């Protein structure tokens, strides 16, 4: 079922005509960096999701939905900023 969904989603977006967007290009360029930053090791996952954000403790909170959405969006934005700094200060000077 997942493969069929993935293929159908790909086929839908393949022919979709949308304009270029600088914001979408910046986010797309940093998405793999976001994955590597926040999910690279068990130590990082534990520090970020258990210790810093206390996701387990949020289960008993009445604001669990808000906590889930805000924490994911904030982590994604921070990781994009970190990856853009890496691109600007490391990648461009080294690879030109």
Both tokens assigned to 60: 């008993």
Q: 28-70, pLDDT tens digit by residue? A: 999 999 999 888 889 999 999 899 999 888 989 999 999 999 9
pLDDT > 80? residue 96: no
* Tens of pLDDT, residues 60-87: 999 999 999 999 999 999 999 999 999 9
- The alpha carbon torsion through 68, 74, 79, 84 (nearest 10 deg) reads 150
Q: Is the pLDDT of residue 8 over 90?
A: yes
> Is the confidence at residue 88, as pLDDT, over 80?
yes
Phi and psi based region of residue 4 (left: phi greater than 0; alpha: psi -120 to 50; beta: remaining): alpha
Backbone angles phi, psi at 63, to 5 degrees: -105, 30
CA–CA distance, 33 with 15 (Å, rounded to integer): 27
pLDDT at 4: 96
């Amino acid at each position: 079922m997942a493969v069929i969904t993935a293929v159908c989603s790909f086929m839908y977006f393949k022919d979709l005509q949308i304009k270029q967007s600088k914001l979408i290009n910046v986010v797309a360029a940093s998405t793999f960096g976001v994955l590597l930053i926040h999910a690279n090791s068990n130590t990082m996952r534990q520090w970020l999701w258990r210790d810093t954000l206390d996701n387990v403790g949020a289960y008993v909170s009445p604001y669990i939905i808000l906590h889930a959405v805000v924490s994911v969006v904030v982590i994604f934005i921070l990781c994009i900023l970190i990856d853009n700094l890496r691109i600007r200060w490391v990648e461009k000077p080294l690879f030109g």
